[in-house]
C-alpha cells in the first residue's frame, strides 16, 4: 500500500502546527481538511492513528507513530459508535443487528433475501480473498511478525489457505451465524438469516473476511501470535479482557474492517463515506449487548475495533463534521499491498 501523507495547518488558537493525515486511496478537498482540523483542534483533537511498530511506515491508515491512546481518542471512538448505529437506521442497505436476527424465525434456502445474500457472498468472495491476504501481510509487518523466514513462512501458509476457499453454503440451521469447519476448509457456511440480514457489499465483505481469517490461521494456529498482539493492544486501549478466543475473534473482525475499508477505496461511489464505513460494523448495533467467553459483546466489538484504528473513527464522523468525503473521483491506481494468496480453519462468527 502507499504510505499515508500529511498536511500541515497552523492553529491560531493553540499556536501549534497540526498534522492532518490524508488517505492515499481517497482524494479529499483542502476545504474539507481545513474544516476537520479546525473542529478537531477545538473539540476532539484529531491525531494520527498509532501503529504497533514505530519502524513501520506503510498502511492505509497510518501516520506518525504514536503509541498512546488519549482521552480525546476515547471520546472520538464513543461518538463514532453512536454515529455508526444512527447511520444504520438511515441507510436503506443497513444491516440487521445480530440480536434482531436471533429473534427471527428461520428462513428457507430459497427465500428471496437469502438467495440474494448468497449471490452477493459468492460474487464478492474472490475480491475478499485478495483483500484478506493483503491485510494479513500488512498487520504481520506492523506488529513485527514478518521479520524472519519462519514468520514469513507462517504468514504465507495462512494466505495460501485463504486462496483455497471457493464455496458459500447457505444453511437454514446456522440461522444468524457464519462458520467454517476444519473437515471442509474450502467452504464458508452462512445461516440464511445472516445472508438476508447483510444487505450491502461492505457488510458482506467484512463477514467474509472474518471467516477467511479463521481459515487462514487453520489447524496450525499460524496467526496465533498476531491474534495475541492485537488482543493485547485492544485490551490496553479499552480496559476490556481480550485473551484467547476473544483475541482471535477480534482480530478476525479487524481484518474484516480493513478489507471493507480497502474495498471502499477501490470502488468509488456517490454514497457517503461514513455510511459505507458504518456498514462494516453496524450488525453489532444491538439492544441486547451480551458477551460470552469467546466473544466481546457486539457493541464492545465496535469499541475495540475503532480503538485499534482511530482514523476510521474519524472517517465515520466525517460527515457530521461537515466534510464531503463521499464525492468520488476515480479509482486509486494501486492501493494493494504485495500479492499473496489465502485459504482455511474453523470457527463461528458472531
Question: Would residue 184 count as lying in a domain?
Answer: yes
Domain around 22:
5-333
Q: Output the pLDDT for position 175.
A: 95
Question: Would residue 350 count as lying in a domain?
Answer: no
Question: Would residue 345 count as lying in a domain?
Answer: no
Distance between CA atoms of 191 and 179, rounded to whole angstroms? 9
If one counts the domains in the chain, the total is 1
| pLDDT tens digit sequence for 249-269 | 999 999 999 999 999 999 999
3-state secondary structure of 15: coil
Q: Output the pLDDT for position 287.
A: 95
Q: Output the pLDDT for position 307.
A: 97
Distance between CA atoms of 221 and 285, rounded to whole angstroms? 30
3-state secondary structure of 256: helix
Distance between CA atoms of 310 and 69, rounded to whole angstroms? 9
- With a cut of 50, list the residues of the chain below it in pLDDT: 1-65, 321-350
Per-position b or e across 317-336, b if 16+ CB within 10 A of its CB: bbbebebebbbeeeebeebe
Question: Would residue 258 count as lying in a domain?
Answer: yes
Q: Would you list the DSSP string of 65-82?
A: ------HHHHHHHHHHHH
- Exposed / middle / buried, residue 114 (Cβ in 10 Å: 0-12, 13-18, 19+): buried
Question: Would residue 63 count as lying in a domain?
Answer: yes
Please choose, from the candidates 99, 255, 253, 101, the residue with its C-alpha nearest in 3D space to the C-alpha of residue 174. 101
Q: Output the pLDDT for position 105.
A: 95
Q: Where are the alpha helices (DSSP H) in the chain?
A: 30-39, 71-90, 98-103, 112-142, 149-163, 192-197, 201-217, 224-238, 244-266, 273-278, 298-308, 310-316
18 forms beta bridges with 9
| Contact predicate 233/243, CB 8 Å | no
Distance between CA atoms of 217 and 157, rounded to whole angstroms? 9
Please choose, from the candidates 217, 220, 246, 253, the residue with its C-alpha nearest in 3D space to the C-alpha of residue 231. 246
Question: Would residue 340 count as lying in a domain?
Answer: no
Question: Would residue 173 count as lying in a domain?
Answer: yes
Distance between CA atoms of 315 and 312, rounded to whole angstroms? 5
Q: Would you list the DSSP string of 114-135?
A: HHHHHHHHHHHHHHHHHHHHHH
Question: Would residue 307 count as lying in a domain?
Answer: yes
Angle between helices 112-142 and 244-266 (to 10 degrees): 100
Longest dimension (CA), the chain: 63
Distance between CA atoms of 74 and 83, rounded to whole angstroms? 14
Q: Output the pLDDT for position 319.
A: 61
Q: What does the block give as the cell for 204?
A: 458482506
Amino acid at each position: 500500500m502507499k504510505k499515508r501523507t500529511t498536511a500541515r495547518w497552523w492553529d491560531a488558537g493553540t499556536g501549534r502546527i497540526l498534522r492532518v493525515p490524508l488517505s492515499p486511496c481517497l482524494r479529499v478537498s483542502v476545504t474539507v481538511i481545513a474544516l476537520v482540523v479546525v473542529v478537531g483542534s477545538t473539540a476532539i483533537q484529531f491525531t494520527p492513528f498509532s501503529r504497533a511498530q514505530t519502524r513501520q511506515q506503510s498502511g492505509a491508515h497510518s501516520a506518525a507513530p504514536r503509541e498512546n491512546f488519549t482521552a480525546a481518542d476515547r471520546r472520538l471512538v464513543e461518538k463514532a459508535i453512536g454515529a455508526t448505529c444512527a447511520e444504520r437506521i438511515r441507510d436503506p442497505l443497513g444491516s440487521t443487528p445480530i440480536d434482531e436476527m436471533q429473534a427471527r424465525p428461520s428462513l428457507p434456502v430459497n427465500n428471496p433475501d437469502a438467495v440474494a445474500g448468497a449471490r452477493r457472498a459468492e460474487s464478492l468472495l474472490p475480491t475478499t480473498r485478495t483483500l484478506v491476504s493483503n491485510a494479513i501481510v500488512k498487520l504481520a509487518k506492523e506488529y513485527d511478525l514478518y521479520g524472519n523466514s519462519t514468520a514469513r513462512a507462517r504468514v504465507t501458509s495462512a494466505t495460501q489457505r485463504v486462496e483455497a476457499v471457493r464455496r458459500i453454503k447457505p444453511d437454514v440451521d446456522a440461522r444468524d451465524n457464519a462458520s467454517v469447519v476444519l473437515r471442509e476448509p474450502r467452504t464458508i457456511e452462512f445461516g440464511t438469516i445472516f445472508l438476508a440480514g447483510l444487505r450491502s457489499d461492505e457488510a458482506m465483505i467484512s463477514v467474509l473476511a472474518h471467516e477467511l481469517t479463521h481459515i487462514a490461521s487453520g489447524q496450525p494456529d499460524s496467526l496465533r501470535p498476531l491474534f495475541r498482539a492485537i488482543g493485547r493492544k485492544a485490551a490496553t486501549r479499552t480496559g476490556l479482557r481480550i485473551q484467547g478466543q476473544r483475541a482471535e475473534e477480534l482480530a478476525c473482525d479487524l481484518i474484516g474492517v480493513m478489507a471493507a475499508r480497502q474495498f471502499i477505496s477501490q470502488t468509488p461511489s456517490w454514497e457517503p463515506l461514513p455510511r459505507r464505513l458504518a456498514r462494516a460494523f453496524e450488525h453489532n448495533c444491538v439492544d441486547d449487548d451480551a458477551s460470552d467467553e469467546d466473544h466481546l459483546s457486539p457493541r464492545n466489538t465496535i469499541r475495540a475495533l475503532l480503538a485499534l484504528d482511530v482514523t476510521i473513527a474519524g472517517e465515520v464522523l466525517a460527515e457530521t463534521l461537515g466534510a464531503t468525503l463521499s464525492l468520488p473521483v476515480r479509482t486509486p491506481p494501486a492501493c494493494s499491498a504485495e500479492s499473496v494468496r489465502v485459504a482455511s480453519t474453523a470457527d463461528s462468527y458472531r
